Structure 1
Amino acid sequence: MNKKHNIAMVGTLVNALLDFRADLIIDMVAKGHTVYAFACDFDTHSEQRVRSWGAIPVPYKISRSSLNPLSDLAVTYRLFRLFRQLKIDVSFCYFVKPVIYGNLAAVLAGVTQRAVKIEGLGWVFTDPPTGVTLKLKILRLIQLSLYRITLPLAHTVFLLNPDDRRDLVDKYGIKIKNLVQLDGIGVNLTHFSCCSYPQTLRFVFVGRLLKEKGIGYFLCAATALKQKYPDVEFIVLGAPDSAPGSISKEQLTSMVECGTLLYPGRVSNVADWLQNCSVFVLPSYYREGVPRSTMEAMAMGRPVITTNVAGCKETVIHGQNGFLVEPHDVESLISAMETFVLQPELVQRMGLKSRQLAQTRFDVIKVNQIILTALCLDKDT
């Protein structure tokens, strides 16, 4: 008989839960497990969405950016209380603070199976173009120290790209009991399916509008290419972020008003927009896991232009399904984008290769099966 578990899926923002965890949670529920989905900003609509999957939403308080240790200890205590109250026996924590403090709370609460997923090393390990500051070096030291304490306490650690493994395990010597390497978090190949290509050449950026994600470089390239090729279109999908360095809505609005850009904001129907675009562009220098937005574009048969950095480079075979450019190199980005203007036949040829790679490496069904098997959530006991 299959043993049923009470699973805590612990993250931060509800949008990440809704956009990126649905398939995994639905699979867990289908196996007969009770899944409690933790997020810090639920509203009525998002709670209803989670309940529609058969899971139970659990609001809790956590600050993504606070550096106050007392605040973080309070988060640990709140999660400890909730884990005990809900009789959690499997914890699955993702994003930096839940990985650290959620995993620690799970230890204190006696959770018998503890898993964490590190989806890239994040902004603390992102090298800005101006160089690494003393503050950033200190923050890295603190985060590494916390990882050294908490990651050995997890029974399973999931990583999304080989660079994170080389850094955390080989370079920094962090002890991990059971490390499982995933090819990203996966994408639903049915929802994001390959489709025809528009006649108008359109480049699209999808993501948080952070400078680390390369939105500024995309806008610079769009401005230069729009002047040279007025019939080419450029689209940005995503909302301004509360984090420092986010592109403002006013900046985007001014580019819309002068005809350089289409900006519908954050949309719920990303697949529809990708269907009407030609080439996906993510000039990120952020320390990614494997960008989900890129995988979605690949699943829909779109060529990809992205950077030769950790996480991003896992999505492109240079010259086959797109192009890799060096981070911060706007001229190289413009050149790569211009290649599709001058050789539009590459859109379909490279796009079909993207779809093949998505089917081989990023199928969410395969990825979730690896997770469920690693956590023994689909075995008879």
Structure 2
Amino acid sequence: MNIAIIGTTAHSILGFRVDLIKALVAKGHCVYAYAQDYQPQTIQQVEALGAVAINYPFNRTGLNPLIDLINTYRLIKLLKQYKIEQTFCYFTKPVIFGTLAAVFAGVKHRYAMLEGLGYTFTPQPDGTAFKAKLLKRIQVFLYQCTFPRLTRLILLNDDDKRDLVDHYRINVDVAILGAIGLNLDDYPYTPAPIQPVRFLFIGRLLKEKGIYQYIQAAKQIKQKYPEVEFVVLGPIDQENPGGLSEAELKRLIGDQIIIWPGFVNNVAEWIKKSSIFVLPSYYREGFPRSTQEAMAIGRAIITTNAPGCRETVKEGINGFLVSPYSASEVVDKMEYFITHPHEIINMGNHSYQMAQQQFDAKRINDRLMALLDLK
């Protein structure tokens, strides 16, 4: 069968869909991986998996409906050109416009996956701006138009089904996958270091990801426990008004509040050097990959009691849940680990056990293949 995987960037294909592509190729399917920004190197990497890399026109963040319609028409032609029989779209805009393109291209089997509901469904501590409300209405309307034309919609957690499909009474067959999973061989267990205690944040440096709560907590902890270290891995986003600015970042580094190594491609090595993973996100996550990676290596978790994040923690067993927006609760839980270092190891071991049971990409891909009716 000719199957199109339609995403956004080549990085997303190679970062999140490699195991699925390998599984599909092993089953004898012809896989076409659609992305917007392939370069010779990434094309070679996709071809090495046994798939075909297809550049397609796509405006990932733009809001111009005319451009989106033109790009959808071009995608229709590409789907017809390669005689695609089944589509699997992921991320918001590919799910909407990729599904529409599949309908008009005559693709019979149309599947989609949302890994979280994203910015428009993220509650803001100071209220939701008019523009965000408008974007949410448009997005929901487009979902209402496209979801009923799907063979199946795959979500990662029950909160997303309740707040999107059930709340807006959208007629679509829904399946809950849970975690996307990891190649656990890439994240081998190592005992957590406790001298010094080192906290780790991984994510885009945006307010919705909880970076400001993490920084506030770091400042308070540093006053009482100056030897404790705080590491931040993630890019700054200068175009996002809610992002940490470059000037703020430099000041935090200069004041020795945080360690920021810049872009790294060896995340697992940084997790190994950490003691506890912290993600105070209130973004509408699906099932955070960074938390899965930390758990697989054996790290205790501090994260929010929010959709997507809460699924990764058994309270008091492998970590703690804190309220969204609450730096003070993050401080309390950090101080608990500092004063109870044996729990860093104990809870980290429980995280490792949970990861082995829940995050094995091989088992999860078998389930995903079944949900795509490709057993």
TM-score bin, normalised by smaller chain:
over 0.9
Alpha-carbon distance change, 93 to 243 in structure 1, aligned in 2, over 3 angstroms: farther
Name the SS for the 1:51 alignment partner: helix
Residue 190 (structure 2) aligns with: 195
Alignment partner of 1:65 out of 61, 69, 82:
61
Residue 173 (structure 1) aligns with: 169
Supply the distance in 1 between the matched residues of 2:342 and 2:308 (Cα, whole angstroms): 27
Q: For residue 374 of structure 1, report the CA deviation from its aligned partner.
A: 2.1
Residue 274 (structure 1) aligns with: 271
Q: Aligned residues: percent identity?
A: 49
Supply the distance in 1 between the matched residues of 2:304 and 2:146 (Cα, whole angstroms): 31
Name the SS for the 1:71 alignment partner: helix
1:192-235 deviations in Å (ceiling 9; x for gaps): 12112223211111112221111121112112212221111111
1:141-182 deviations in Å (ceiling 9; x for gaps): 111111111011110110001001112232111111x32111
Residue 149 (structure 1) aligns with: 145
Which is worse superposed, 133-142 or 157-166?
A: 133-142
Tell me whether 1:216 sits opposite 2:222 in the alignment.
no
Residue 286 (structure 1) aligns with: 283
Residue 38 (structure 1) aligns with: 34
Alpha-carbon distance change, 188 to 75 in structure 1, aligned in 2, over 3 angstroms: same
1:96-141 deviations in Å (ceiling 9; x for gaps): 0000000110111111211100111100111111112222222211
Tell me whether 1:237 sits opposite 2:233 in the alignment.
yes
Letter in 2 for 1:212: E
Letter in 2 for 1:283: P
Counting only pairs closer than 5 Å after superposition, residues 6-25 of structure 1 correspond to structure 2 as 6-25=2-21
Which is worse superposed, 362-371 or 132-141?
A: 132-141
Letter in 2 for 1:179: V
Structure 2 alignment gaps of length 5 or more: none
Letter in 1 for 2:38: F
Supply the distance in 1 between the matched residues of 2:241 and 2:72 (Cα, whole angstroms): 26
Alignment partner of 2:334 out of 334, 337, 355:
337
Which is worse superposed, 36-45 or 333-342?
A: 36-45
Letter in 2 for 1:12: T
Tell me whether 1:90 sits opposite 2:86 in the alignment.
yes
Q: For residue 243 of structure 1, report the CA deviation from its aligned partner.
A: 3.6
What do you get for the CA RMSD once the two structures are aligned? 1.4
Name the SS for the 1:103 alignment partner: helix
TM-score for the superposition, normalised by structure 1: 0.94
Aligned partners of 1:104 and 1:150 also within 8 Å: yes
Q: For residue 326 of structure 1, report the CA deviation from its aligned partner.
A: 0.5
Aligned partners of 1:90 and 1:113 also within 8 Å: yes
Residue 303 (structure 2) aligns with: 306
Alpha-carbon distance change, 145 to 113 in structure 1, aligned in 2, over 3 angstroms: same
Supply the distance in 2 between the matched residues of 1:365 and 1:249 (Cα, whole angstroms): 40
Which is worse superposed, 151-160 or 27-36?
A: 27-36
Alpha-carbon distance change, 324 to 116 in structure 1, aligned in 2, over 3 angstroms: same
Structure 1 alignment gaps of length 5 or more: none
Residue 186 (structure 1) aligns with: 181
Supply the distance in 2 between the matched residues of 1:52 and 1:207 (Cα, whole angstroms): 29
Tell me whether 1:316 sits opposite 2:313 in the alignment.
yes
Equivalenced residue count is 373
Letter in 2 for 1:291: P
